[in-house]
Structure 1
Amino acid sequence: MKDLRMNFNKLNADSKRILDIIIKSGATTKNEILKITKMKLTTLNRFLEPLEEFDLIEQIGVGESSGGRKPTLYGIKEDSFYIFGIDISRTYTQIILVNMKMNIICKERFIMDESTSPEITIQKLTEVISKTLNDFDIPHNKILGLGIGTVGPIDREKGIIKNPVNFESIGWLNVPIKSMFEENFDFPVFIDNGSNTAVLAEYILGVGKGMNNIAYFNCGIGIRTGTITSGVIIRSINDGEDAFGHMVIDVDGDLCSCGNYGCIECYSSIKAVTRKFTAEVKKGRITKIHKALHEINYKDITKAAEEKDSLSKEIIIGAASIMGAGLVNYINLLNPNIIILSGPLIKSSSLFYDTCVKVANSKNFLRGNSQVFFNKEGSFGEDAISIGAAVMVINDFLST
């Protein structure tokens, strides 16, 4: 059953490098590969042979001629392998199946609530995987692997979700998620923080392609951050992803769940926005939202802000201004080429995104010497974490 993956593993470093170039280029000619690798044509032909032999690449057409015969274009053979990518977040879990071109074949998502324990979550995902393989008639040995982008902190090497906060269900403590999947399936399983898989997807295939320094921020229940500097993912000691959210912005500020005071997350997260809004209404402030206080959520507030509800607008601008100030500190320290802002708050509120960018640009110490670009939701939007989880699988095979 593992013959196809064994063929992939038989490739030497040079063949894998060429495959990597073709995957990232989409379609390329031998001359373009020669310019990148500095190989001789005979050497390139030798390393291309196993890629064609194992049906990993194929001739997909011809390129533009520079005077002679039109060159052959090589592309990845999309159905040579498939990969599952999983995004485990606090409010939902998503699973996708992609081909080798990272095109999504199918996608399922379910809500994470107090009933979705680790066991229930993995049971649901296992059922989806089995059904997908059956529905699309895909043998196990054509699954290159399964990647998981999850809320942290994690132990990447052991494949354990350690002690994340703010899950509605109990039991999310030291969950050996990698081994739990490996008990049910015979393909490799990889795990990383969701923000890291998202930034990887945008760096290799998305809006960060061709840039060495990019950052991804997911603004939701927490603030999750993935950073690539000089082409390398920056990792914290405990493989957490919430360090930015716990950057202290006001030493005398609100008490944070981490025990400190004045963290960015105290002001710029979904919970902070809802909490601040509720507190102001209790003080007697007027709002156009006609709901019981306990029923009001961040979507109500962001929608009301767009409709010129003065209290909602004030809350959103205040939260985004704090986030923008935090981004200034980040920019001054790491000087990224591009900052991708994503997540539920960004998706729901143009005002939140625009205010973040305005504040960050106006206060950027390096603004006269460095151009930082902002992007809303990246190339992959809400699919970034799961697509990045699939990209992580390919990266592992190509790097070993």
Structure 2
Amino acid sequence: MMNVKHPTIKKQVFDFIIRNGLVSKVDLMARLTITSTSLSRLLEELLNDGLLLASELGRSTGGRKPILYRVNPEHRAVFGLEISRFTSSIGLYDLNLKPLAFERWQMDDQMTPERLLNKITILAETMMSDCQIDREKVIGIGIGAVGPLSREEGIMLQPRNFPAKGWSNVPICDWLEQRLGLPALLDNGANTAIIGEHWALRNEEVNHMVYMHAGVGLRTSMISSGQIVRGAVDMEGSFGQMIIQTDGPRLGDEGNYGALEALVSIPALEKKIRSQLKLGRTSSLSDIPPEEIQFDALRRAFLQKDALVTEQFLQTATYLGIGIANLINILHPEAIILGGPLVNVHKTIYETVIQVAKSNIYYSPAYEPKFSQGQLTEDAVTAGAAIMLLQDWELS
């Protein structure tokens, strides 16, 4: 597994250029603590290494036109991988984080860790071959996965609600390093998603941001002053355990009674609609045995304007809006990005969540954070995993 190190000044120069596109030496001098002579030497090294290209001349301010530097996108490549309970995906990216190849697939009850490992190996090898990229040019593979996990040890610990068996204490980094011969780095999918979205918004300089993913569970992450906020323990699923109904239901045999996740998640929604159907409520799903009803059927029924399903989806969106308002009232972020299959079913769901959240923000209207579904949407985890690994990559 990769060791996370404090970036050298050479890496800081490279990272600044990769984030800002075309950059002059003056731009770098204004942002970094470095002498002009040292910066010239580092830029020359990066050019000789093939990591940078000297691009077109910039606008003159009276003297010679400055040289502009940019990253050479073809010099190296990096993999990003998402491992989730609903879908998973892998992408191969160049140094500008442009996807060269991408594949997404459903996670079913046959997708054990061993089967997933085989699939990832085949896809990665195929992508490198099809894109004509030598293994030596690939920096490594960043992984955004469902928690809880050990980032330091590269292990997925005890994630709940995977359709297949065997998802317990999975040493995913070691396995992938052995199969692919590439360094691997693991973090929560919510963290890699917010890394990706923060990257996509880099020109807007958003310092404080919250990401929330609503799917099989509720997953959250936060960036403050440009850095991931990490607690003493894995925080990814903590938002879902916020109690909003003291005498409310419990999801399965774990977690708090009346927790948000017991009211807002795919399993919770499936459970509520199955219960209503057993009570005799009419629906376009009435011909399906209640216990066989899955989220895909609920999504189709919502899009077909089924009254029962619409009612339950909107109730779920209302609870989610309340939960997000509670989060906003504690953290006061500048921006909130909402993702996941529950929110992405239809714009009506997203708009309901936002409307309820906004109506319960304590300092409104003086304080009005920006809401969005993000720039990268469902690809945020995968792209963010690649960016995470690129950020931790040590230049020689």
TM-score by length of 2: 0.92
Aligned equivalent of 2:270, options 253, 267, 274: 274
Aligned-pair CA distance for 1:113: 1.4
Amino acid at match of 2:48: E
Residues 81, 213 of structure 1: CA spacing in aligned structure 2 closer, same or farther, 3 A cutoff? same
Alignment of 1:91-102 (within 5 A): 91-102=86-97
Aligned-pair CA distance for 1:353: 0.9
Alignment of 1:53-132 (within 5 A): 53-132=48-127
Aligned-pair CA distance for 1:290: 6.1
2:211 aligned with 1:228? no
The aligned residue for residue 354 of structure 1 is: 351
Aligned-pair CA distance for 1:82: 0.5
Structure 2: state its 5+ residue gaps: none
Provide, for residues 276-311 of structure 1, a one-character-per-residue CA deviation record: whole Å limited to 9, x for no partner. Answer: 122223223233456514454334434544554332
- Over aligned residue pairs, what C-alpha RMSD do you find? 2.4
The aligned residue for residue 311 of structure 1 is: 308
2:394 aligned with 1:391? no
Q: How many residues align?
A: 391
Aligned-pair CA distance for 1:235: 2.3
The 3-state SS of whatever aligns with 1:184 is helix
Structure 2: distance between partners of 1:244 and 1:219: 11
2:322 aligned with 1:325? yes
Residues 88, 105 of structure 2: 8 Å contact kept: yes
The aligned residue for residue 367 of structure 2 is: 370
2:206 aligned with 1:211? yes
Structure 2: distance between partners of 1:398 and 1:145: 12
Structure 2: distance between partners of 1:364 and 1:375: 16
The aligned residue for residue 17 of structure 2 is: 22
Of the structure 1 ranges 260-269 and 275-284, higher mean CA displacement relative to structure 2 is found in 275-284
The aligned residue for residue 187 of structure 1 is: 182
Residues 113, 167 of structure 2: 8 Å contact kept: yes
Aligned-pair CA distance for 1:216: 0.9
Structure 1: state its 5+ residue gaps: none
Residues 223, 242 of structure 1: 8 Å contact kept: yes
Structure 2: distance between partners of 1:294 and 1:108: 31
Of the structure 1 ranges 308-317 and 337-346, higher mean CA displacement relative to structure 2 is found in 308-317
Residues 176, 182 of structure 2: 8 Å contact kept: no
The 3-state SS of whatever aligns with 1:387 is helix
Structure 1: distance between partners of 2:337 and 2:7: 35
2:142 aligned with 1:147? yes
Amino acid at match of 2:315: G
Structure 2: distance between partners of 1:275 and 1:289: 14
Aligned-pair CA distance for 1:329: 1.0
Aligned-pair CA distance for 1:38: 5.4
Aligned-pair CA distance for 1:63: 3.4
The aligned residue for residue 342 of structure 1 is: 339
Of the structure 1 ranges 152-161 and 226-235, higher mean CA displacement relative to structure 2 is found in 226-235
Amino acid at match of 2:150: D
Residues 84, 145 of structure 1: 8 Å contact kept: yes
The 3-state SS of whatever aligns with 1:97 is strand
The 3-state SS of whatever aligns with 1:183 is helix
Report % sequence identity: 35
Amino acid at match of 2:308: L
Structure 2: distance between partners of 1:237 and 1:345: 29
Residues 207, 362 of structure 1: CA spacing in aligned structure 2 closer, same or farther, 3 A cutoff? farther
